[in-house]
Structure 1
Amino acid sequence: MKKMLHARIQKHLSTPRAQLILINLLTCGLEVCLAAGVTFVPPLLLEAGVEGKFMTMVLGIGPITGLLIVHLIGSASDSWTSRYGRRRPFIWLMCVGVMVSLIIIPYSSHLAALLGGHHTGIEVAFLVLGIGLLDLCGQVCFTPLEALLSDLYPEGESCRRAFSVYALAVGLGACIGTLLPAVDWSDSWLAKQLGGQEQFLFILLLVIFTGCVIATFFVSEELKPGTVQVEVPGDHPVRKGPCLQACQLWTFPLRAWQLVLTLRSVCALFPRLRTFCCKVPVTLWRLFVSQLCSWMGLMTFMLFYTDFVGEGLYKGVPIAKPGTEDRLRYDEGVRMGSLGLFLQSVVSMMFSCSMDHLIKMFGTRAIYVASIVCLPLATIVMCFSSSITVVTISAAMTGFTFSVLQIVPYTLTTFYHHNRQMFLPKYKDAGGYNNVTEKERKTGFHKDTPNGVSLFPSHTPPDCDAAVTVAEPSTPKHGICLDMAILDSALLLSQVVPSLVMGFIVQMTQTVTAYVAVAAAFGFIAIYFSNKVVFDKSDLVKLTAL
């Protein structure tokens, strides 16, 4: 009876819909941790004695470090081979970093006390380490997650739906992550036992995130591109089910050779990345530039929106003493700004749910360009309006842009790779994707393959086939995870640049309205480049004609 129940559960978990939910549970968990964790960063830094002018430098550590390693993670994932697939080992590695950071941040003072010495300096060091680790691992983890979605859902409509659910999970995580810090946990019994509000919140985040990570143990990855059929001679009768490792001892030298090739490819990542940057196809470059300008405008708005509302609309003073009228006005403005960002997440979820229908009705190009146009229009309204209601509604409407930027660019990248001979001609590699048959490219789910298996497969006895599948030693140099890393580097870069330059711009203009004005300027630039993105074959023909 237990075996039958286990088999039924395993069969249900292996369906495409269940796999999509399991993957996006981690997406939601990551966003919850990033949204809620970063909320407590400024007060924790101030309490530890960090000056306000160094705050943006600390917040920039994670994105800057992410820019340095995200392409390495993407390239290594594309060439990786293991029994757990290409993506999940790197996903789990980043998740471990997130878990460690969720422990370091709330207990930085306790860790500093254990080491003794200069308590304040060590506490700040632990706090900065935890914040940088959370931001770095949390954001870089999205890259192999996006590649895994693209692997499992390669077709146009299924891919679009998969990334719509992905964007929905991001929006839901942002909502939950925004609401959790708003609840006063300090009076609860568990919060008192753990040490206070911050400690309880981060332990709660750790529990939620651990459950989301466990969900990925049940994900079955795709069959690796570039597999071949090998005839295995033998007198055994033919039975169904792969059992290469159990029945064919002669394949161990091949496994060892694969490991050597993998280690060699990892060592060659740096020179390959330099060559890759010089050979990126024009279709991908255009998408990257459009993505960069769009995220630059959106992140400039999101990073400084609460400060804009607190100082610009409520006329508060952030450096005023606590309890004074100026400080109370600023705090009230920050709360209203947080409400605007919460409504942005809600609108993003709404558009994510209906994105497939909207694209079918209006087309990918119209939806993408319309979402980019929405950003500068909303920020221009904020520049000239003093009504908190109008500004909040405008902030909520940027959720349309946020939703589309989480869906369309990644579905386009998957579309490029599905038609790589046409859209990515520079990626023609011997032994790469060009040798994969049409059937292999279109098949998304293979539940029990040597290259990607669930951690908890159904317990069936090992069987031997006359024809078994083994992976080729040669792997494609340019996989989709590396291209996803390029798109994600646009997001990371869009967080670094505003943090470095916006303080100087506001100081020069003497007004916080400069925040939304710069966001509008980036939005108008993004409109121009969004019209240069290649959406279909007709755009490619026009590009070739030039």
Structure 2
Amino acid sequence: MKLTLWELVKVNLLPAGLDFVSCAAFTFIVPSLMSSDLQSDTVGCVLACGPLLAMIVGPRVGAWSDNCQSRHGKRTPFIFCISLIILLALLMIPYSSVISQVLPEKYSGLFHLGVLFSGIVMLDSCVSLCYTPFEALLDDLYESKGFVQRAFGIKSLMVSAGGALAYLFCSLDLKNFWLSTFLGGADKLLFLTLFSVYALLVMISMASIRASTFTDNEGNPQGLISISALSTMILRAPLVILKIPAAIRMLFCSIAEMIRSLFMMPNMFHRLWFAHFCGWMGLMNLITYYTEYVAEVIFEGDPSAEVGSEPRNLYEEGIRYGSIGLFLQNIVAIVCAFYAEDIIKFMGRRNAFVYSCVSFSLASAAIFVCRSVPVVIGATSLTGFLLAALQVLPYSLLSQYHKEAKTNAVGEESIYERGLCEMYALLDSAYYLSHMIPIAIVTTLLTITKSPLSYAACSAIFGCLGVIASTQVHYDRIDYIRYLS
């Protein structure tokens, strides 16, 4: 069977939509929370809850997906249901103040924060969770035909394209659009745009998967939620309160099961997991706090200044320039992802991974030292090499481990016989954890130093850890045979 580039692009519109939503939403959310009256500890806890929930629930979702016998496929039901929660969160965040008005005024403020924080956690966790069944779906579709590395390369390209468009969109001054005034604010325009774009991309991606010659029953969400089923769910919604104790028990069981599963994995997996973790830890620290860093350090703006004052205008201009830097980061990642197979053939997997970590460390150091806007933005664009590498190499390596283990099933390698989606979920736990550790470290450093320089310093340190960890990964059959011996 022939696999066309156009088919891969259409299938991978889903991860493009996920990254578009995540990057655009949190480019707005993080500065808004940091410039509010909330304490930095509270903001850090809210931002950490989403990845924590995804890390705990991810392996359980992966196991459910591996054992799913639905006529709609093994992966589609989970992708579709998680996408519905994402769409709900995109409405909860901008309209949290409107929703809170259903309660008396003395309770509305607290309820407003509850709805807002719930929407942020739901969005962050579900965007992360949705990647796991989709990655397993790509492996299901293309691994047996030898197209899995190409599929993950195009996935990386589409993720970067979604991020690039998101940052380009956020670099615009949405307050000056007439539609912003009509809808009631720039935040509502932003999130309603994200809602519309994501809903459209999910439908196109599902239709492309259903039409693919590589699958029989995936990509068909029709009938998953009927009118009768939806009405039953609405009537039973109040009974969810009675399920809270069971949900808490399941949460703790999931934590214990995830930790046990990670410790049971072979040493090869542990090395790959740690390199994946260190690479993403540096990147996520940079992406999460970059616009704030540019606005406060490079442009010397003040988020707490009065609206319309010069320090506040400099801060908002810095946010927009920071978005341009992240846009260029994704452009570089798009180019690297498009030529991923050629780069890997030319450099080899080991050199591609190690050099991407080295380039990130040097770029992070330049961002920390320099105060020139062009230099900082140029250095930021170079980090796109690592962004592309982390979205391709760890997953193709894990697929290779899984395939080699079936061929040479000896000793501890038989552990790889667990479901593939669960394996990807365990690897993705490094990605989820990479959100939380930087937030905890940076929040602590901010409390101690009171300086936003902590953002860039942490990225450079995490990048150096990534360089060390990337040299310890098993990349090819020679490493694999040496490990078995």
The answer for the alignment partner of 1:37 in structure 2 is 25
C-alpha contact 1:416 1:424 (8 A) present in aligned 2: no
1:65 to 53, 57, 69: 53
The answer for the alignment partner of 1:128 in structure 2 is 117
Q: Does 1:503 align with 2:452?
A: no
Which stretch has the larger CA shift, 119-128 or 267-276? 267-276
1:364 to 1:303, Cα distance in 2 relative to 1, 3 A: same
C-alpha contact 1:49 1:120 (8 A) present in aligned 2: no
CA distance in structure 2 between the aligned counterparts of 1:418 and 1:309, rounded to whole angstroms: 44
The answer for the alignment partner of 2:343 in structure 1 is 358
1:188-227 equivalences in 2 (<5 Å): 191-218=180-207, 219-220=209-210, 222=215
Which stretch has the larger CA shift, 52-61 or 486-495? 52-61
After TM superposition, give the deviation of residue 314 of structure 1 in Å: 2.7
After TM superposition, give the deviation of residue 44 of structure 1 in Å: 5.6
Look up the SS of the partner of 1:60 in the other structure. Answer: helix
After TM superposition, give the deviation of residue 357 of structure 1 in Å: 1.2
The answer for the alignment partner of 1:470 in structure 2 is none
The answer for the alignment partner of 1:527 in structure 2 is 467
Bigger Cα Rg: 1
After TM superposition, give the deviation of residue 155 of structure 1 in Å: 5.2
1:345-424 equivalences in 2 (<5 Å): 345-421=330-406, 422=408
Which stretch has the larger CA shift, 199-208 or 24-33? 199-208
C-alpha contact 1:178 1:342 (8 A) present in aligned 2: yes
Give the structure-2-normalised TM-score.
0.84
The answer for the alignment partner of 1:480 in structure 2 is 420
The answer for the alignment partner of 1:283 in structure 2 is 268
1:304-315 equivalences in 2 (<5 Å): 304-315=289-300
CA distance in structure 2 between the aligned counterparts of 1:53 and 1:537, rounded to whole angstroms: 46
After TM superposition, give the deviation of residue 202 of structure 1 in Å: 1.9
The answer for the alignment partner of 1:9 in structure 2 is none
The answer for the alignment partner of 2:231 in structure 1 is none
C-alpha contact 2:171 2:320 (8 A) present in aligned 1: no
After TM superposition, give the deviation of residue 121 of structure 1 in Å: 1.4
Question: Please, which runs of 5 or more residues in structure 1 have no aligned partner?
Answer: 1-11, 225-265, 434-475
* Length, aligned pairs only: 446
Output the amino acid matched with 2:168: L
C-alpha distance after superposition, 1:20-77 (max 9, x if no partner): 2332111111111111222332466589864555222222221111111011111111
After TM superposition, give the deviation of residue 216 of structure 1 in Å: 4.0
The answer for the alignment partner of 1:137 in structure 2 is 126
The answer for the alignment partner of 1:119 in structure 2 is 108
CA distance in structure 1 between the aligned counterparts of 2:476 and 2:260, rounded to whole angstroms: 27
After TM superposition, give the deviation of residue 492 of structure 1 in Å: 1.1
The answer for the alignment partner of 2:278 in structure 1 is 293
CA distance in structure 1 between the aligned counterparts of 2:427 and 2:70, rounded to whole angstroms: 26
Output the amino acid matched with 2:102: L
C-alpha contact 2:168 2:324 (8 A) present in aligned 1: no
Give the structure-1-normalised TM-score.
0.75
The answer for the alignment partner of 2:235 in structure 1 is none
C-alpha contact 2:59 2:422 (8 A) present in aligned 1: yes
Q: Report which of the two has the higher share of helix.
A: 2
C-alpha distance after superposition, 1:404-442 (max 9, x if no partner): 10111111111112222338853537xxx9xxxxxxxxx
Look up the SS of the partner of 1:322 in the other structure. Answer: coil
After TM superposition, give the deviation of residue 401 of structure 1 in Å: 0.6
CA distance in structure 2 between the aligned counterparts of 1:91 and 1:394, rounded to whole angstroms: 35
1:82-121 equivalences in 2 (<5 Å): 82-117=70-105, 118-121=107-110
Output the amino acid matched with 1:496: M
RMSD: 2.9
After TM superposition, give the deviation of residue 327 of structure 1 in Å: 3.1
CA distance in structure 1 between the aligned counterparts of 2:331 and 2:427, rounded to whole angstroms: 24
1:358 to 1:109, Cα distance in 2 relative to 1, 3 A: same
CA distance in structure 2 between the aligned counterparts of 1:508 and 1:392, rounded to whole angstroms: 28
C-alpha contact 2:18 2:162 (8 A) present in aligned 1: yes
Output the amino acid matched with 1:500: A
1:24 to 2, 8, 12: 12
Output the amino acid matched with 1:353: F
After TM superposition, give the deviation of residue 109 of structure 1 in Å: 1.6
C-alpha distance after superposition, 1:224-283 (max 9, x if no partner): 9xxxxxxxxxxxxxxxxxxxxxxxxxxxxxxxxxxxxxxxxx999787656533321221
The answer for the alignment partner of 1:428 in structure 2 is 414
1:277 to 1:108, Cα distance in 2 relative to 1, 3 A: same
Question: Which has the higher relative contact order, 1 or 2, with Cα contacts under 8 A spaced 6 or more apart?
Answer: 1
CA distance in structure 1 between the aligned counterparts of 2:359 and 2:164, rounded to whole angstroms: 21
Question: Please, which runs of 5 or more residues in structure 2 have no aligned partner?
Answer: 218-249
Which stretch has the larger CA shift, 399-408 or 500-509? 500-509
2:165 to 159, 173, 176: 176
After TM superposition, give the deviation of residue 178 of structure 1 in Å: 1.8
Which stretch has the larger CA shift, 187-196 or 330-339? 187-196
After TM superposition, give the deviation of residue 16 of structure 1 in Å: 6.0
CA distance in structure 1 between the aligned counterparts of 2:398 and 2:205, rounded to whole angstroms: 24
1:507 to 1:299, Cα distance in 2 relative to 1, 3 A: same
The answer for the alignment partner of 1:330 in structure 2 is 315
C-alpha distance after superposition, 1:469-490 (max 9, x if no partner): xxxxxxx6x1111111122111
| Identical aligned residues as a percent | 31
CA distance in structure 2 between the aligned counterparts of 1:39 and 1:119, rounded to whole angstroms: 26
Output the amino acid matched with 1:202: F
1:346 to 1:216, Cα distance in 2 relative to 1, 3 A: closer
2:432 to 479, 492, 508: 492
1:156 to 1:85, Cα distance in 2 relative to 1, 3 A: closer
C-alpha distance after superposition, 1:341-380 (max 9, x if no partner): 1111111111111111111222111111111111111112
